[in-house]
Structure 1
Amino acid sequence: MQRANQGSRRALPPTSYLRVYEPLSAFSDADQVLITSTKSADREALEESVAAAAVQRLTRQLSDPFPHQHQETFRKLVITGWDGATHTLYCPDQLATRAILASEQLDGSMRPQLLELLVPSAARAANALRVNEVRFAEDIAHLHTRTATWGIPFGWFVLVHEDDEFELIEDDEELLSTRIYTPLTQALDRARYAAATLAIHAPEMDLLDELTALSEWLLLFDKDSVLELDYGRIASLVWPDDSPHDLRMGIESLSEADMTGAAAAYRRLSSRWLAVRQLARAN
C-alpha cells in the first residue's frame, strides 16, 4: 500500500485508465534519449502533477482544454522477471494526442452550442497549429492509454484476474486508486478465450466487439509488455471489487451452457456498478 498526497485529483471527475508499459527497446531512438535523460519522478508525485496541470487547463480564463508547450512524460513500472532480475517498463502519457481524441469524441456526442462552450473552435484551431503531425500519427497508431470516466468498461475486467498483482494508493482520508498488473500475453490470452466463448454462445453481446477491439489493440505492443488497470478514484466507490471474478465466472458459465450461472454473474456485476452510474448521472 502506498501513501499519496491527494491534492488536485479530487477536483477532477473519477477516471479509470488501461495502460500498456513497454520495454525501453520498444521506443524510438528519440524517445529512448528522452526517457534516459529525464529525471524519474515518483509515481504519485507525477500523478499529482498531471492532475494539477489538468485542473489548470480546465480553469483557464478563456476556455481552452488543450496542453500548451507540452513535453512528453513517461510513467515507469519496475517488475521482477521469472529469473529474479528487475526490468523497467515505460508508458508515454501522449497527452496532446489524447486531448485531441477526447475533443473529437465530444464533437460527436453533444450539441454544437455546448461543444463550443467547452472546446471553442478558436482553441481547436490554435491547437491544430501546435500539433506535430508526425508524432500525432505515430501516437494514433500506437496509443498506450485508454480512459473511461465514471466507470470501467466491462471488457477491461476480462484482461485481469482477481489473483493478479495489485497495489492500493491512499491518503489519510480515502482510497485514491487500485492498480492491477498482468503480463500483456496473459491479458491477450484471456481476451481471446472470452471472445471465442462469446462468439459461440452469445454472439449478440456488445462485449464481443469490445474484446475484439481490445485484442487488436494489445497486438500493437511488445510481447514483454505489462498491462495496468488503474481504477483511479473509482476505487473508493467499489473496492474491494469482485468484478474480474464475476465476469470470469460469467464467461465460464457460458462455455458450459450454464445460462443460470451466467445470468447470476451478470446481475452481480451490474448491481455493483449501478450506484456508480447513478452518481455519474447526478454529476
Structure 2
Amino acid sequence: MDDTLTIMSMNIRDGAHGHLAELADLITAQDPDIVGIQEAKGWRRPWWSPRRHGKALRTVMEATGLRVAIYTPSRTHGCDLVTLIGPRIQPTGYRRNVGEGHLHHGASRVRFTIDGRPKEEVWEHLNTHFSPFSGAHRLIEASWLTEYAGAPRRLLTGDLNSDLPEKWGGIADPLNWDGLIPPNLRSRHLRPGPGHQPSDRDATALLIEAGWRSAHLDHVRQATVGHWHGSESWEHAPDHILVSSDLAADVLRHETLRPPPGVEPFSDHHAIVATLAI
C-alpha cells in the first residue's frame, strides 16, 4: 500500500492552449493523487470557438490518466477551476463553489477517501484562486476558507495572489519597488498609502491564524512568479499548498517545478507539488 499522498497546484495561464502536452507531461512526471488547476480557460465551455468545448479537459485527462473530481466555472474572466484526481482517490461529496459566487474566481471543495485506508478516514480538498486586484477583497475571500482549517485531513491548493507573511516563510519584500511593479499596478499587491509600502499579505496571514499551515515550511521556498515578460517582474510566491495543522509534520517534500535551463515556461506561474506521509 502506498503510504504517501502527492498534491500539485498550478495556475496554467489562459488555459495553456497550445501547451497541453507540456502540461500533461509535467503532471505525469509527478504522479500526483490530486491536482488543483487555476485559469482553466476554455477547458469545458466554449471560449473563443465552440469546437474547443471540452477538448482541453479531455486531452489532459487522457494523457495523465486522471479523472475530474470537480469543475468550477469562474464568475469572472473565464478563469475556471479544475480538480483532477488519481485512481486511489474516491470522492464522497463535493460543493462546486463554497463561496456561493462571492469569490472573484471561485473555490471548490471535494470530500474523499483513499483506497487502502479506513473508510471512516475522510479527507477534504479545496481549490481556489483569489482576486488579483485587491488585498481587501482577498481578505474577504480568505474568510470563506478559514473554517475548513479546523478539522483534520484538510488540503488547500490555489493561487492566492499573495505570499505568506515573512515570519511564516514568505519571501521578503524588496527594498525598492521601482522596476518591479509600476505605480499604477501597486494597489494590486501593496498596502494602501504613500511611499514604499509593504506587500499586502493579510489574506494569507488570516488563513495561517485560522490553523492552515504551508506545506513548504522547513522546505525550500522559491518564487513561482516574476519570470514572465510583462509589467510586473516582482519575484514572489503567491501559489500555495496549505494543509490542516494535523498534517504539517507529515510533509515530506515541497517543490517549485521550474523548467530546466534553456526550456521556456508555458505559464506565468510555476507549478508546485507536495508529498505527505499518510
Q: TM-score, normalised by structure 2?
A: 0.28
Bigger Rg, which one: 1
The structure richer in strand per residue is 2
Select the structure that is richer in helix. Answer: 1
Higher relative contact order (CA 8 A, sep 6+): 1
Q: TM-score when scaled to structure 1?
A: 0.28
